[in-house]
Structure 1
């Protein structure tokens, strides 16, 4: 009887640890998406859109980077599938620097 209870407890503990590790990985990837979006927006505001997209894909491997440049605003969206297929996304905005 105690063996069955121990097996259930160990299984529950392992499941909780697995979920915790995947949750931590998802939070880390979300932070990377935010960093990548911010860096891409900053570089695009300086007039280096190609470098901004490259930097974002280096920061978050396998990410989809969308840069929307308008006359008075720059919007960058970085999205990716995270652990367990969770959709992760971050946005950053910048104002173009005068030339």
Structure 2
């Protein structure tokens, strides 16, 4: 019960199993698919990490800017944010809006930008209104 039948000269004449070698072909087709799936998983993890860092930076920047220290808020957000992130601090009425956006893996994924916005009360306006007695 070998793989080959012996011919008249003792050499293999024909294959008994037509599926011999199919495992090799299937493995050769499967490996690139596994590599692509692994790359997509790593890209997803990178996007998640970038999103979390943007959210943390925006939250910290909004907290400090809301207390009246805008330069410290921008500096703290820049330290926490991913490399190459853009930071925007806006005062809208009684609130401070801080938006941090960045590209995952410093731009390796084209067209993908992660962003987070945090809002905090402008405590300087609130304390001034409270101390001045002006109704809000």
Please report the TM-score for the alignment, with normalisation by the length of structure 2: 0.68
Distance, in Å, in 1 between the alignment partners of 2:85 and 2:65 is 17
Larger Cα-atom Rg: 2
Number of positions where the alignment pairs a residue of Structure 1 with one of Structure 2: 99
- What is the DSSP-based 3-state SS (H/G/I as helix, E as strand, rest coil) of the residue aligned with 2:122? coil
Distance, in Å, in 2 between the alignment partners of 1:69 and 1:23 is 33
Distance, in Å, in 2 between the alignment partners of 1:57 and 1:29 is 13
Please report the TM-score for the alignment, with normalisation by the length of structure 1: 0.92
- Kindly indicate which of the two structures has a greater share of residues assigned to helix: 1
Pairwise CA RMSD: 1.3
Deviates more, 1:16-25 or 1:65-74: 65-74
Moved over 2 A (4+): none
Instruction: Return 5+ residue gaps in structure 1 as ranges.
Output: none
Higher RCO, 1 vs 2 (CA within 8 Å, ≥6 residues apart): 1
- What is the DSSP-based 3-state SS (H/G/I as helix, E as strand, rest coil) of the residue aligned with 1:13? helix
Instruction: Return 5+ residue gaps in structure 2 as ranges.
Output: 1-21, 129-136
